[in-house]
């Protein structure tokens, strides 16, 4: 016996409301899955570049001769490959995936929720900036120890031994905090080395990334819509506000918008990223001391001057541009596939 049409329509309406109600567990779960998958795909694509950039930023003594030139990244990659093979290029990547899955999921879920609160009826560029910054802070606070472990694994270049997760965690936990003798210092705080510049850098990075992505997407949907959009994919679909869904961008346009967003955000926040990397690896260089934010700034300035805050920026562009492009593109494609917006 077939279900009456009126009941079918009611069931379809309930399903649509569940999928598009941003406060529902169904929407939160699906947006988290979309964000986590997007983050993992993007990070996997640029993993070798990510490792080389960490070695440059943290002034690893074995690779400083390659820093500062466009060809340096390829020369450093070749040396890593010669010493450790393909595995060397992806060293620390398992820790990256362990971190990026919850990081990206939390970031996109938080962005959607904060965006819904700040913009219940209409999107604005400034509120995208605010939503992106707050979402970035939330994701960093939840996953920072995993980021520290990833960086320390990527920093290790010795071929005579392979450090494991448990032994590395014990090493970080037991590192001294000599400069904190005047204050109460808990060993667990060693897993938060470099948190302050990370938060400071995430505010402009995530905020500008979402802000720029929104502006460029709107330009594509208005001024360049005939060239850059797929209207057929949005026909008959409603967004979370019950309005007609905006036409998604074509893949090449989505990648271009995402890449430009990442490059602009990277330029603005890069000095804080360099400071953060230095603070994260100081424990590996000298386990008996804890170096703070301003001491790190002074060290970089004395050693390399102003350009020291932009060491590795060229590889940063090579890494971040495709990473953000793929991340936004996969996220929006996953949202379409999971029937959420």
290-327 residue pLDDT tens: 677 888 888 889 988 888 888 878 777 888 899 999 99
pLDDT in tens, 12-41: 445 555 556 777 888 899 999 999 999 999
Q: Encoding tokens for residue 74?
A: 């390829």
Q: What pLDDT is stored for residue 8 in this prediction?
A: 46
Would you say residue 329 has pLDDT above 90?
yes
Is 19 a member of any domain?
no
Domain count, the chain: 1
CA distance 140 to 146: 10
Residue 261 falls within a domain, yes or no?
no
**293 in a structural domain:** yes
| Better-predicted residue by pLDDT, 211 or 337 | 211
Distance CA 73, CA 212 (A): 28
**Does residue 113 fall inside a structural domain?**
yes
Instruction: Of 116, 137, 108, 114, give the one whose Cα is nearest residue 35.
Output: 108
pLDDT digits (tens, 9 = 90+) for 95-125: 788 889 999 999 999 999 999 888 877 888 8
The whole-number pLDDT of residue 14 equals 52
Per-residue confidence (pLDDT) for residue 10, from 0 to 100: 46
HSE-up of 128 (CA within 13 Å, CB side)?
Answer: 16
The whole-number pLDDT of residue 32 equals: 95
pLDDT digits (tens, 9 = 90+) for 44-74: 998 888 888 777 767 666 777 777 666 777 7
Q: Is residue 138 very low, low, confident or very high in pLDDT (cuts 50, 70, 90)?
A: very high
Listed residue (203, 198, 105) closest to 148, CA to CA: 198
The pTM of the full predicted model, rounded to 2 decimals, is: 0.74
Q: How confident is the model at residue 243 (pLDDT cuts 50, 70, 90)?
A: low
Is pLDDT of 143 > 60?
yes
pLDDT per residue over 189-239, tens digit each? 888 887 888 888 889 999 999 999 999 999 999 888 889 988 765 555 655
Strand partners, 238: 244
Domain that holds residue 59: 32-196+277-338
Main-chain dihedrals φ then ψ at residue 249, nearest 5 degrees: -80, 155
Residue 328 has pLDDT above 90, yes or no: yes
CATH number (domain holding residue 169) = 1.50.40.10
**Which among 148, 140, 150 has a CA at the least distance from the CA of 43?**
150
pLDDT at 211: 95
Helical axes 313-337 vs 72-89, angle rounded to 10°: 50
The pLDDT of residue 290: 65
In a domain, 145, yes or no: yes
**Can you tell me the distance from the alpha carbon of 142 to that of 151, in angstroms, rounded to the nearest whole number?**
16
pLDDT of residue 214: 94
Distance from C-alpha of 306 to C-alpha of 317, rounded to nearest angstrom: 19
């Amino acid at each position: 016996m077939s279900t009456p049409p009126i009941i079918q329509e009611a069931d379809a309406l309930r399903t649509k409301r569940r999928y598009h109600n941003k406060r529902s567990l169904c929407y939160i779960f699906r947006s988290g899955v979309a964000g986590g998958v997007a983050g993992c795909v993007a990070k996997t694509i640029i993993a070798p570049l990510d490792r080389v950039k960490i070695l440059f930023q943290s002034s690893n003594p074995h690779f400083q001769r390659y820093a500062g030139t466009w060809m340096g990244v390829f020369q450093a990659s070749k040396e890593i490959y010669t010493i450790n093979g393909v595995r060397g290029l992806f060293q620390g990547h398992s820790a990256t995936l362990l971190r990026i899955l919850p990081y990206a999921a939390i970031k996109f879920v938080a962005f959607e929720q904060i965006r819904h609160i700040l913009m219940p009826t209409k999107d604005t560029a400034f509120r995208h900036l605010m939503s992106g910054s707050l979402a970035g802070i939330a994701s960093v606070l939840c996953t920072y120890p995993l980021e520290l472990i990833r960086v320390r694994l990527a920093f290790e270049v010795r071929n005579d031994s392979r450090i494991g997760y448990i032994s590395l965690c014990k090493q970080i936990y037991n590192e001294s905090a000599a400069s904190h003798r005047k204050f109460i210092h808990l060993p667990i705080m060693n897993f938060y080395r470099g948190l302050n510049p990370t938060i400071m850098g995430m505010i402009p990075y995530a905020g500008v990334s979402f802000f720029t992505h929104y502006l460029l997407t709107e330009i594509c949907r208005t001024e360049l819509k005939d060239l850059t959009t797929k209207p057929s994919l949005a026909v008959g679909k409603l967004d979370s506000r019950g309005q007609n869904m905006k036409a998604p961008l074509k893949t090449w346009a989505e990648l271009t918008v995402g890449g430009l967003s990442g490059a602009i955000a990277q330029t603005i926040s890069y000095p804080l990223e360099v400071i953060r990397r230095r603070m994260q690896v100081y424990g590996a260089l000298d386990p008996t001391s804890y170096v703070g934010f301003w001491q790190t700034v002074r060290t970089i300035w004395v050693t390399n001057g102003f350009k020291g805050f932009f060491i590795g920026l060229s590889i940063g562009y090579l890494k971040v541009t495709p990473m953000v492009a793929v991340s936004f593109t996969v996220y929006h494609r996953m949202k379409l596939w999971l029937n959420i917006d």
